Structure 1
């Protein structure tokens, strides 16, 4: 789920948090196994490229997950996590737990944390999420621009798998300072899409975070090197680079964040800069009335002719929403978005409900 201060708001109002719903099915001799998940069903109405509102009831990311850990020796713990998605709104037509979400294994201890597998990009966790880690509508980001970098071509080799085949090391926190470095490895045995050929390659991503009191700042770089390649006609393609910087201030259940992010394309007119402000407040007016209020504004500047903005040079995005906690395990939400695109494409509203277990 996409949660930030919601758990804090629920904890203050109801004495528990949605993040604490996991059931421990085994915990003995230093080994623990948990099962957790959620059901998310929502309704949305969003404008298409012709300005027509298209609506549907849909699954908003329902998940079943398993996590575990065991103590290897004092100061060293091995762990794993595996999450699977299913279509709660049309389960009979779906494939059950047919889609993987994230899965990884690792070790953590005094040395830090090292993991291997599939999970969200570092720039997502450290730079983008503090601005708008919402239920359905988020502001755009450099990852979206990177997935569509060359005249609208969305079939660039490998860009549908930013999360997989990764190794990452994250340091302990030293006097408020922490860093992370990692790589995504794509071997020449990976299947391609028929358009681009690629040899074995290891990319690089890394980030630096510093926190003092209620203030923190994080910077992340990703070279997207695995998505460079060569078309069948011999022409080379270079995807570009991602940069991001986010500062945030948190006090009680209020978080305010600012972001500067860039996709620096090496080919085509796809450079894009993103400047955003976001805030989220966990309210608790009474024991029976609590939730989150949140919103974000973003200014986007793209190179002339960029397909990312449908040919426009700039755009102003606004997203926002509110949640209401029915219980420690269940809440509802309503969100809206204004994208400032031609024909009001992407503008819309969404309402839904979530049950966590």
Structure 2
């Protein structure tokens, strides 16, 4: 029973880091190195041909730590992913770096790291990004400002408010620009900053809030929505007694991308709700609702203008089954509630249901 409680508690970490635990490959003189990995055979079933088919992949990561003295610790983490669905003849394995950062921690003064990491908004958004396959996508988008994984991030974190208040954590983050005028050559974001705070009240109950504000690049601002992209997120979660409950609400401004042409929503209102239970014998059922509403979109289709439209709206029913901490079977059913109308058709936003079935080996 204790093993399954541990697995339930580790689930958010597993989703972020891609492993339930790690294998230590070096530990000497205060320096250690762990390797983690995940091999997932995953198949999507959907009437949407763009989604249907093999979705298998491999992830591996390296985490290092070195003890400089009794107060100072250096650390680093790297994680890559390889797509296993492409053919060998295609020469395209879609390899990508998910995380790559290094930093230093100084006792109760906190830690500082720089590199490719989670954006500050994910400190709260990650609470609901724990579904077997889907979820965490109402406003969290990769390489879109500081909503999820992104590059050029410098992050300061402090736990227990300098060691004086148990459970009260906060973080401040700066993101350097990623646009066509720098070495990244990618119109992702201008300079920005954000902050978050979470408070563990005890008995499994936690509260959290995060805020981020960034310059938009010159090319992004050509849509006349404004020169700034802003977001605020709040959340609450309960994680105890084999029960996991989480809810978040977020608003974004000039930030979220939608549709096949990567248009930007003037404003979004987002809700994510998750409920899970870990049974002693390894089964963990999951139920969730993910919703995002775009406001003042000004999307023209023929003679009709769509202003307020749902960008995401689905119920998710799924389950994980832990044979042990290394082998997991999972199924996830995304029941799409979006209307099949002129807006979704023209913007090429999928309104189809998707089922994911997978078996995972992780270490």
Please, what TM-score do these two structures have when normalized by structure 2? 0.77
2:24 maps to: 24
Partner residue in 2 for 1:219:
209
Residue in structure 2 matching 1:122, options 120, 123, 126? 120
Residue correspondence of structure 1 range 1-357 to structure 2 within 5 A:
7-8=7-8, 19=19, 21-48=21-48, 54-59=51-56, 61-90=57-86, 92=88, 98-110=95-107, 111-124=109-122, 126-138=123-135, 140-144=137-141, 163-173=150-160, 174-186=165-177, 188-192=181-185, 202-213=191-202, 214-225=204-215, 227-230=216-219, 237-238=226-227, 240-265=229-254, 270-285=266-281, 290-305=282-297, 313-314=309-310, 316-343=313-340, 345-357=351-363
- Which residues of structure 2 form unaligned runs of 5+? 12-17, 256-262, 300-305, 341-349
Offset at 1:328?
A: 2.5
Distance in 2 (CA, whole Å) between partners of 1:118 and 1:102 is 5
**More moved, 133-142 vs 243-252:** 133-142
Q: Is the 1:65–1:83 Cα contact (8 Å) retained in structure 2?
A: yes
Taking a change above 3 Å as real, the CA distance of residues 232 and 324 of structure 1, as seen in their structure-2 partners, is: closer
Q: Across the two proteins, how many residue pairs are aligned to each other?
A: 322
Cα displacement (A) at 1:236: 8.1
Structure 2 vs 1, CA of residues 74 and 322 (structure 1 numbering), >3 Å: closer, same or farther?
same
CA distance in 1, matches of 2:58, 2:37: 7
Asked if the contact 2:19–2:38 (Cα under 8 Å) also holds between the matched residues in 1, the reply is: no
Q: Distance in 1 between matches of 2:148 and 2:291?
A: 27
CA, structure 1 residues 320+306, in 2 after alignment: closer, same or farther (shift >3 Å)?
Answer: farther
How far, CA to CA, are the matches of 2:39 and 2:274 in structure 1?
A: 27
Distance apart, 1:304 and its partner CA: 4.6
Stretches of structure 1 that go unaligned for 5 or more consecutive residues are: 12-17, 148-157
Give the secondary structure class of the aligned counterpart of 1:141. Answer: coil
Q: Is the 8 A contact 1:317 1:338 kept in 2?
A: yes
CA distance in 2, matches of 1:185, 1:44: 36
RMSD: 3.5
